[in-house]
Amino acid sequence: MNVFISADIEGVAGICSPSETNKADPDYQEFRELMTAEVVAACEAALEAGATKVLVKDAHASARNIIVSALPESVEIIRGWSGHPTSMMQGVDQGMDRAIMLGYHSAASQQGNPLSHTMSGRTVHRLTVNGQVWSEFHINSMTGLYYGCPTVLVSGDTALARVVKAYDPAIETVEAFAGTGLSVQSLSPKKVQAEIRAGVTQALQRPLDDFRAGLPEHFRLQLEYKHHSMAYERGFYPGAQQINDNTVQFECDDYFDALRFMKFCI
């Protein structure tokens, strides 16, 4: 069993401010360590559950956040960005069987996390696919499915956990905190790490047939930007069209085409 872990930071226990996510700020170091501890908890649980390979993608900002020396000896990690459209799921095409997402967060335009965004807090106001608001969880879970690797556990904010359960009730969720406005009410980091360990153990025991999410036959993406100039520029992407002042639409049947559109238009 090969286990893939995609790790973000905006859903890590206790986090609530942009300064806690930014390498240039002094607040960052504490939450870098907490992000690492949650990843280590998942890795150790996966190995104890019988994983023969654990591959981690550091998937926040610079993609150089996780303290590499803290990882178990047999774990591999992908740091930095290759530029491939799989982005936060780089490496999932290496024969991975199950995906775990840690430190994930609610979508742009949705409440439940002071740090809610979708791929880019600078450009994207909202992303919808087939009429549904999508988060990074949706984007990356579909990427996993495209390569035959279903998502089995997600940790992050409580609002995201509700979205995950609506998407596929079989996915284990760990709720680190609930956000209200720019505040959070969080479990202790040690409690969240313990729940990640237990959740990973449970998720990896489930038969793959339990996970029912699948790829749609068609994708209609609508990217609503924060500024009209962005929509004007991205409207020139091949096959895309600007449908109003701030929104570009793109349709396709192959999910990789959707990933490529997002890569170049977000």
∠ CA 241-256-246 to the nearest 5 degrees? 25
Calculate the CA dihedral of residues 138, 135, 62, 145 and round it to 10 degrees: 0
Nearest to 98 by CA among 171, 12, 198, 168: 171
Nearest to 38 by CA among 115, 105, 102, 106: 102
Cα–Cα distances in Å, from 144 out to 95, 198, 256?
A: 11, 22, 11
Task: Supply the pTM of this predicted model.
Answer: 0.98
pLDDT of residue 166: 97
pLDDT of residue 60: 98
pLDDT of residue 91: 98
Residues of the chain short of pLDDT 70, as ranges, are none
pLDDT of residue 228: 98
d(CA 243, CA 229): 13
pLDDT tens-digit profile of 151-169? 999 999 999 999 999 999 9
pLDDT of residue 41: 99
Going from N- to C-terminal start, the domains of the chain cover: 2-118+136-210, 219-265
Domain 2-118+136-210: give its CATH code. Answer: 3.40.50.10780
pLDDT of residue 111: 97
Name the helix (H) or strand (E) containing 159: helix 158-167
pLDDT of residue 144: 98
d(CA 102, CA 88): 11
pLDDT of residue 254: 98
Which amino acid is located at 52 in the chain? T
How many angstroms from the chain centroid is the CA of residue 219?
19
d(CA 253, CA 99): 23
d(CA 13, CA 35): 8
